[in-house]
Structure 1
Amino acid sequence: MSSTLVANGAIRQPDVHLVVRPIPESPPRRSADLTDEDSVYEQDVIRNTGSTKPWLAYISFKRQHGTVQEQAFVMERACIQLPRSYKLWKMYLQFRIKHVGKLNPALFAAEYRKVNSLFERALILLNKMPRIWEMYLGFLLKQPLVTITRHTFDRALRALPITQHNRIWALYRPFANSAAGETAVKIWRRYMQVHPEDAEDFIELLIQVGLCTEAVQKYIEILNNPRFISKNGKGHFEMWSEMVDFMVDHAAEIETGHESGIDVDQIIRSGIVRFADQRGKLWVGLATYWSRRGNFERSRDVFEEGITTVMTVRDFTLVFDSYTEFEESIIGTLMEVASIRAEKGIADEEADFDLDIRMMRFEHLMDRRPFLLNDVLLRQNPSNVPEWEKRVALWGENKQEVVNTYTNAIAAIQPKKAVGAFHLLWANYAKFYEKGGDIRNARIIMEKAVKVPFKSVAELADMWIEWAEMELRNENFDEAVRIMAKAVQAPKRSTVDYFNETLSPQQRVHKSWKLWSFYVDLVESVSTLEETQKVYERIFELRIATPQTVVNYANLLEEHKFFEESFKVYERGLDLFSYPVAFEIWNLYLTKAVDRKISIERLRDLFEQAVEDCPPKFAKVLYLMYGNLEEERGLARHAMRIYERATRSVSDEDRADMFNFYITKSASNFGLPSTRPIYEKAIEALPDDEARDMCLKFADMEKRLGEIDRARAIYGHASQFCDPRTNPSFWQKWEQFEAVHGNDDTFKEMLRIKRSVQAQYNTDVNFIASQAIARSQQRRAEEAAGIPQDQDQDRQVADAMAALERQSRAPVGFVAARSGPEGGKGVTPPEPKVVPPPVANPDAIDLDVD
């Protein structure tokens, strides 16, 4: 049988070279070495020459019962017979890789080359299988064969379709990173053609290799690609900032110009325009870039441009501090060189001159700092008036620059957008010439200033006043009056609305109270009474008079003994103003009229006019003045009628005081009995709290008159709004009253009324609700404190109600007092003896009856 197999050529002797260190290599087996078990598998292989199943079964059998050489022998024959079988080749290759996997690739390079050759044989027909390529490349990565490995990667990329390239690049990229140098860059350049999203990793590699120019070019490429998305989550600005920092740090290593397509200056300046909040940092970066390239003059120019164009104080501080550090470093270097030359005795006048020039530049820079900072704030807002004033102060005694500053400020500030008092800038400009004795130019400035369209009428009015005050300082009183007359000049009947913002301030300034107030004070100081009256009359015609105007005009006339005219001014003011302003005018008017002692009929008429439409909250003072007038110059009964009207006209909070005042006046004029109807009206009109106090006073009055029954009736009336729980003082006073002036029946009646009132309040809805809320709050407080609560709350309430009902039906004991006429009038009873009642009732009192 064996001879038959050999004769048919079924068994070939493959060239199998295996290295097995633990087991010596045996010679290739011949057909005579085949066992009976092998014969079975050999027959299956011969019968199914195109199938892999017999070979797989044969290989599986050898894995269990054969040696390593026998396994390799069978796998080799299978791959020779079926060279396109991916499964057989993969099994064979994995077997050979595992066999040499633990060997050192440097010491056993020959054995590794045999496996490499085997992979090359497999790839002749299986070059489209990515898994075979991955196995081969992974095996090559273990060997120190950089060139062969790189060429194999390239062959794999050429052989496989592009859809399978990612599997190769997953191995190729780590290989490139490990290879480093120019090899890695070349590999990454190819990789970038198909995977531009990993450009950030490529840039890191370029930076490590030192290809700074290409790294910047790659930065520019991805920044110009709007579809690029950073896999590290970086934004467009963050990557741009990284590029700028890199260009500044490696300024000397980056090639610029048309060939490289990199213009660092233009790139950073574009960022300065686009990113306003980073301007200070970018100006410093641009200057640093030129200094690192050795172009110090260009760097200085950049610093100068930066400090004169930044818009924020923060950016200015950053640029200026960097500028000073730059100058200090250069000066320090030059001074070191000069000291070395001095030690060696070498004289260099040109170098010394250059050092002196740089020192002068640095000092000049430090002197310019306040002006440069002021420029920054003015660039932020050219209409910032306080900053222009600071700039004027910075120039000090430099008159030419002060004038230039004022001129520039006036040209730059937009009146409608001015921040601060723009009129003060004009005024200070004029004062500058005034202090220099040039009053003519000061007046020219003032004439221009009053034509400026200020933001508000108040500013224009202040400007006119500043002009007039300038003339007053120079004792030109007539000129000051003329200027103010011109300022308030207006048509006879002006229909202009002072608050109409659509009109210019010049069209509305004639209705400025501030302007007229200054004008009238000026005229009053330097002109006659007639001129002053004309000004006041003009103010009334324009209907811009204020209460102060009325008072000032009236006081002026009163000082000149024109009392009736001053009264007319008050009346005109009352026509212009309503309450509450009218109240103050009436108060002054009536006070002045009463002091002048005009006729009583006229005064009564004035008071009647004053109280006719007076609001309740202002009526009290007027009625008191009216009543006092009647008491002093009229009739007492008239005064009482006025006070009675006052009790109906004043506000609720003043009504009780008014009734008390009315009662006091009535008692002093007509005796205590005359106050009874007043008390009755007060009790009827006042709320419960105030009525209770009024009842107590009424009862005290009746008690002083000896009217005990009347006093008792008053107590009974007051009891209906006095809850015994909340007003115990009232019931205590009534009890004291009965103890002194009462008898058994009256005391019992008092107690009966007390229980009735208490029962009435117990059924009041509001009272019950408040008590329920109080009980619930108490229960919550006890629960929070850990006090056990009774579970049956309904039972507690029922028990409490039953106890209250029993208490109300309990008999009342009374201790008899010594009887006297009229229920014991005028007789002081002995102290009542309190006996404990049979039922626990706090309101029940047992009195022993003789």
Structure 2
Amino acid sequence: MPQLVDSSRPNSATVPFSASILKPRTSSLASVTSGNWSGPWTFPISSPPATAQRANPRSPNSPMCPRTSLISSEAPFSNRFIIYERALKALPGSYKLWHAYLRGRLEIVRNLPVTHPKYDTLNNTFERALVTMHKMPRIWIMYLQTLTEQKLITRTRRTFDRALCALPVTQHDRIWEPYLVFVSQKGIPIETSLRVYRRYLKYDPSHIEDFIEFLLNSSKTKHRLWLELCDLLTTHAPEVSGLNVDAIIRGGIRRFTDEVGRLWTSLADYYIRRSLFEKARDIFEEGMTTVVTVRDFSVIFDAYSQFEESVIAHKMESLDLSDEEEEDIQEEAIEEDEDIRLDVDLCKSKHKFERKIFKGFWLHDDKDKDLRLARLEHLMNRRPELANSVLLRQNPHNVEQWHRRVKIFEGSPTKEILTYTEAVRTVDPMKAVGKPHTLWVAFAKLYENHKDIANARVIFDKAVQVNYKTGSSG
């Protein structure tokens, strides 16, 4: 039996083993056939067929080998596109191929508008990649980032949900981070953001403070929206003169029962910007006499007082300028020898004529500084009365507030009598907060202190006829 020699051994004199057809040497064929062969077996080398090289994707010469077949990155992408598609068709599960291919497509659309058709092609390519790369978080993140840039809200949200379903929970933190950035952008519906944040808190409850901060920064109440609308209307008062701004803002005032001070001041500011100062004063007065909270009253009163102060300051400046003009006119009148009515310049003549003729008349006098100061002083003196009226609008049956109102008018018997009369007519003993009989007693003592005993008896006679609550007088 002839002995075979392993050609793969390094000390063998033969060449390495080949996968080609094994053939013994022709000269020794007869000896082998006759059984007299005693030498080692040797085989010739033959290269593999060219078809085998093309069929083997691991071959360096194979067009499907990514290491040798992809052309230079400086080449046009249209040329690389064909090679990428051929390689991915042969190796659809290659992460490196898909990653390089997608990065190349992202570079193409980097400087294009998001409405360009190439973005649709890019999105379709990502969808193809996720067929086999759905367990690769980096591919998901690349896709989600480009969808976020395209402002495709619904598609982006659904793709985020798909990524969370496809990836294991240990990799969800890589998806949640861009997900929260996405829902925090402007233009995302608040309901969508709230739902996503609630789901995130189930995944990581330690970020509850981030959720609270998001709510504080993003949520807007109807009252806040009305304030923004009022600010917009008042800031652009000349441009919106065609709108019924008064009706719009009053609609917001009727909608809310409190925190309407800003709305009243916005309406007054609208008329101030249109130089309708008397109308603005009417709005301030109406607001102060209709609000039901001290906070709203303070907002309106402060705005009203600041408005009056600014008007006085502006008037003082204008008076200084007018005084200088009068001095100039007097100097010109002394120097001029001709009659003012014979002035050639008719415009200047008319103006000077009016200044001379109407000077000193009250209707033409614009020096109403004292009147404006008196108006501001009157406003400040009315503050306690107006503030008390706000509290009585909250509860007109508060006996203590009526007593405080009478003290405001101390020293004015007429106003005290009118206040007591209004108090005993308004306060319902069954709903009163405090002791309603004290109003009648104080009312009668007021007449008694002014030596009017007859009216004091009349007040007591009416007081005993009132139906009080049982035990309220004790």
Please give the TM-score of this superposition, normalised by the length of structure 2.
Answer: 0.54
Which of 228, 233, 256 does residue 215 from structure 2 map onto?
233
Tell me which of the two structures has the higher relative contact order, counting C-alpha pairs closer than 8 angstroms and 6 or more residues apart: 2
Which of 109, 112, 135 does residue 140 from structure 1 map onto?
109
- The CA distance in 2 between the partners of 1:78 and 1:194, in whole Å, is 26
1:87 Cα deviation from its structure 2 partner: 6.1
Report the counterpart of residue 429 of structure 2 in structure 1. Answer: 415
- For 2:428, the aligned partner's letter is Q
- The CA distance in 1 between the partners of 2:85 and 2:446, in whole Å, is 111
**Contact between 1:433 and 1:439, CA under 8 Å: does it hold in 2?**
yes
- The CA distance in 1 between the partners of 2:274 and 2:49, in whole Å, is 80
1:454 Cα deviation from its structure 2 partner: 2.1
- The CA distance in 1 between the partners of 2:80 and 2:118, in whole Å, is 29
Aligned positions of 1:227-306 closer than 5 A:
232-234=214-216, 238-240=220-222, 243-244=225-226, 246-247=228-229, 250=232, 251-253=234-236, 265=249, 268-269=252-253, 272-273=256-257, 276=258, 278-280=259-261, 283-284=264-265, 287-288=268-269, 291=272, 296-297=277-278, 299-306=280-287
1:360 Cα deviation from its structure 2 partner: 3.7
Aligned positions of 1:619-634 closer than 5 A:
none
**Contact between 2:249 and 2:263, CA under 8 Å: does it hold in 1?**
no
1:709-747 deviation digits (Å, cap 9, x = unpaired): xxxxxxxxxxxxxxxxxxxxxxxxxxxxxxxxxxxxxxx
1:45 Cα deviation from its structure 2 partner: 6.4
Local SS of the residue matching 2:408 = helix
Is 1:443 aligned to residue 462 of structure 2? no
Aligned positions of 1:4-403 closer than 5 A:
43-44=51-52, 48=55, 53=57, 58=62, 63=67, 79=82, 85-86=88-89, 132=102, 135-141=104-110, 145-147=111-113, 150-152=115-117, 155-156=120-121, 170-171=145-146, 173-174=148-149, 191=153, 201-202=185-186, 232-234=214-216, 238-240=220-222, 243-244=225-226, 246-247=228-229, 250=232, 251-253=234-236, 265=249, 268-269=252-253, 272-273=256-257, 276=258, 278-280=259-261, 283-284=264-265, 287-288=268-269, 291=272, 296-297=277-278, 299-345=280-326, 352=366, 357-403=371-417
**Contact between 1:79 and 1:89, CA under 8 Å: does it hold in 2?**
no
Aligned in 2, Cα 1:293/1:67: closer, same or farther, shift over 3 Å? same
Aligned in 2, Cα 1:344/1:411: closer, same or farther, shift over 3 Å? same
Local SS of the residue matching 2:460 = helix
- The CA distance in 1 between the partners of 2:472 and 2:246, in whole Å, is 59
Of all paired residues, the percent bearing the same amino acid is 29
**Contact between 1:434 and 1:442, CA under 8 Å: does it hold in 2?**
yes
Which structure is larger by alpha-carbon Rg, 1 or 2?
A: 1
Local SS of the residue matching 2:430 = helix
Aligned in 2, Cα 1:80/1:443: closer, same or farther, shift over 3 Å? closer
1:388 Cα deviation from its structure 2 partner: 1.6
- For 1:324, the aligned partner's letter is S
Aligned in 2, Cα 1:298/1:59: closer, same or farther, shift over 3 Å? farther
**Contact between 1:248 and 1:286, CA under 8 Å: does it hold in 2?**
yes
1:411 Cα deviation from its structure 2 partner: 1.4
Aligned positions of 1:467-486 closer than 5 A:
none
1:293 Cα deviation from its structure 2 partner: 6.8
**Contact between 1:272 and 1:282, CA under 8 Å: does it hold in 2?**
no
1:351 Cα deviation from its structure 2 partner: 7.8
How many residues matched? Answer: 344
1:156 Cα deviation from its structure 2 partner: 4.0
- The CA distance in 2 between the partners of 1:245 and 1:388, in whole Å, is 34
Local SS of the residue matching 2:291 = coil
- For 1:422, the aligned partner's letter is P
1:396-455 deviation digits (Å, cap 9, x = unpaired): 454443332112101111213333442232122223333444433322221111111223
- For 1:58, the aligned partner's letter is S
Aligned in 2, Cα 1:310/1:44: closer, same or farther, shift over 3 Å? same
Unaligned runs of 5+ in 2: 1-46, 131-139, 159-179, 198-213, 330-354
- For 1:307, the aligned partner's letter is M
Aligned in 2, Cα 1:155/1:61: closer, same or farther, shift over 3 Å? closer
Unaligned runs of 5+ in 1: 1-38, 99-130, 175-186, 204-217, 461-850
- The CA distance in 2 between the partners of 1:40 and 1:262, in whole Å, is 93
Report the counterpart of residue 431 of structure 1 in structure 2. Answer: 445
- The CA distance in 1 between the partners of 2:243 and 2:124, in whole Å, is 36
**Contact between 1:385 and 1:421, CA under 8 Å: does it hold in 2?**
yes
Local SS of the residue matching 1:202 = coil
Local SS of the residue matching 1:419 = coil
**Contact between 1:426 and 1:449, CA under 8 Å: does it hold in 2?**
yes
- The CA distance in 1 between the partners of 2:453 and 2:314, in whole Å, is 56
1:296 Cα deviation from its structure 2 partner: 4.9
**Contact between 1:392 and 1:405, CA under 8 Å: does it hold in 2?**
yes
- The CA distance in 2 between the partners of 1:70 and 1:377, in whole Å, is 79
- For 2:385, the aligned partner's letter is F
**Contact between 1:418 and 1:455, CA under 8 Å: does it hold in 2?**
no
- The CA distance in 2 between the partners of 1:352 and 1:136, in whole Å, is 75
**Contact between 2:126 and 2:143, CA under 8 Å: does it hold in 1?**
no
- For 2:186, the aligned partner's letter is F
Question: Which is richer in helix?
Answer: 1
